[in-house]
Amino acid sequence: MDLRFTDEEKAFRQEVRSFMRSEIPAEIRRKLADGQEIEREELVRCQRILNAQGWAVPRWPVEWGGQPWTPIQQYIFLEELQTNSVPQPLQFNCDMVGPVIARFGSDEQKRRFLPRAANLDDWWCQGFSEPGAGSDLASLRCRAVRDGDHYIVSGQKTWTTLAQHADWIFTLVRTDPAAKKQEGISFLLIDMKSPGVVVRPIITVDGRHEVNEVFFDDVKVPVANLVGEENKGWDYAKFLLGHERTGIARIGITKQRLARVKRIAKATPAGEGTVWDSPAFRARAALAEVELKALEITQMRIVSQTAPGGANNAMASMLKIKGSELQQTATELLMEAAGPHGIVFMDRLAENGSNDPLAELEWASLATQNYFNTRKVTIFGGSNEIQRNIIAKSLLGL
């Protein structure tokens, strides 16, 4: 197939690039490019700029804010978003719960939730994983018992990303304990302000508060908040994860990081030269770029051959595996470029500010933090070991 972009696609890329660079605040893009945390208000601001342009949820149905773009245009848009260090619209809203509600939700749920999700008026989080039910998600035990017009929800979720900011959580709950594991699960929308919902922080190895535990103590949830049919939640979860894994390769982000690796390595002293003068380092960086180009071509092939709605599970799993590994490789190279300077911790820099003699090495401390944080990408969205099982079963018949 011909993987060259048409003149129309090149013009579309330029339109998107120009908008990103002129309308998204430069200071926010710079923070993201440097590996700093984006504040809640900054993400909301950027998503609302995109939504006003009609670009916050381009993969949704047109009647709910999507765009009639081709798969290649969708690909170009995501790549420009990432390579220009624009905060990606909140994935829980735009790539997870939004598509599920648009596809399986009632008309009332669509009217109530979709516009607010697109504009980030409601911040959503994902309630899937539990203690003992991560990769084996079908073993979840969080229960929802029907009581008239409500469900009574009891149980726990863990590794709930950004739950400290969330207004709503979409959850998988067990509604039929007598059924087979996958057949007794439902997809339920829960207001985080409901009595009985408790959020407790988990501080990760990089020192950040990104994930949480969420507890449900007899939480009353209206039956109207059930998406689709009772006990069909596993089907909706598979649909959601297909959307998540297709975009989880994050090729644009890895491109930006590898370019930054080269810039920093060429400027960082090492011995009588720079880090970039090491043939071994250059060889590893070159191999990462070659593998990234191969992944990019693979993703373009999949995108061009995929019907609307996302790649099938095996294709999405391939992108997820290699994309997450390359994300880790890029952060490994950046930390290697930092060398011993990477032991400078941000709390010291925050305390002493520009008076600290090591303040110019803030990037090195961020490199270490991002290295630790990126260890998770081969786990979330379904661990890479599980993705290999999906590929073996779907494509190899094993």
Is residue 146 domain-shared with residue 40, that is, in the same domain? no
Do residue 75 and residue 133 come from a single domain?
no
Q: Give the mean pLDDT of 1-8.
A: 80
Task: Say what the pLDDT of residue 268 is.
Answer: 85
Check pLDDT > 90 for residue 218. yes
- Report, as an integer, the average pLDDT of 79-86: 94
CA distances from 3 to 258, 300, 305, 306 (A): 23, 8, 12, 15
Q: Which residues are catalytic?
A: 244
Residue 199 lies in a domain: yes
Up-side HSE of residue 90: CA atoms within 13 Å toward CB?
31
Is residue 386 in some structural domain?
yes
- CA 269 → CA 168, 265, 302, 346, distances in Å? 48, 8, 42, 22
Q: Which segments of 68-211 does DSSP mark as H helices, in order?
A: 71-83, 91, 98-104, 107-118
Task: For the chain, give the percent of residues with pLDDT over 90.
Answer: 64
State how many domains the chain has. Answer: 3
- Residue 212's DSSP bridge partners are 201
Amino acid residing at 363? W
Residue 241 lies in a domain: no
CA 377 → CA 226, 329, 371, 384, distances in Å?
A: 30, 11, 11, 9
Give φ, ψ of 57 to 5 degrees: -135, 60
Both 77 and 161 in one domain: the answer is no
Indicate if 258 and 339 belong to the same structural domain.
yes
- Across 16-167, where does the E strand assignment appear? 124-127, 143-147, 150-157
Answer with the one of 37, 67, 89 that is the final residue of a domain.
Answer: 89
User: Which residue among 68, 89, 110 closes a domain?
Assistant: 89
Q: Tell me which of 140-144, 316-320, 356-360, 377-381 is least confident.
A: 356-360
What token pair was written down for 85? 């260090």
CATH of the domain at 364: 1.20.140.10
In a domain, 103, yes or no: no
The predicted-structure confidence for 87-99, as pLDDT tens digits, reads as follows 999 999 999 999 9
Q: How far apart are CA 97 and CA 189, in angstroms?
A: 9
pLDDT greater than 60 at residue 309 = no
**pTM: predicted TM-score of the whole model, two decimal places:** 0.86
List residues bridging with 198 in a β-sheet: 215
pLDDT in tens, 136-162: 889 999 999 999 999 999 999 999 999
Average pLDDT, the chain: 89
Tokens of 166: 């969330």
Q: Quote the Cα angle for 300-301-304, to 5°.
A: 80
In angstroms, the CA 195 to CA 327 distance is 39
> Which uninterrupted H or E stretch holds 291?
helix 279-305
Q: Does residue 308 register a pLDDT over 60? A: no
**Are 254 and 386 members of one domain?**
yes
Distance CA 139, CA 181 (A): 6
Q: Tell me if 116 is assigned to some domain.
A: no
Residue 12 lies in a domain: yes
Contact 66, 58 (CB under 8 A): yes
Distance CA 219, CA 157 (A): 14
Which tens digit of pLDDT belongs to each residue from 12-43? 999 999 999 999 999 999 999 888 889 999 99
229 CA to centre of own chain: 27
User: Which of 37, 65, 89 is the last residue before a domain boundary?
Assistant: 89
For residue 126, give the amino acid letter. Q
Does residue 176 form part of some domain?
A: yes
State the residue range of the domain holding 30.
Answer: 7-89
In the chain, the amino acid numbered 231 is: N
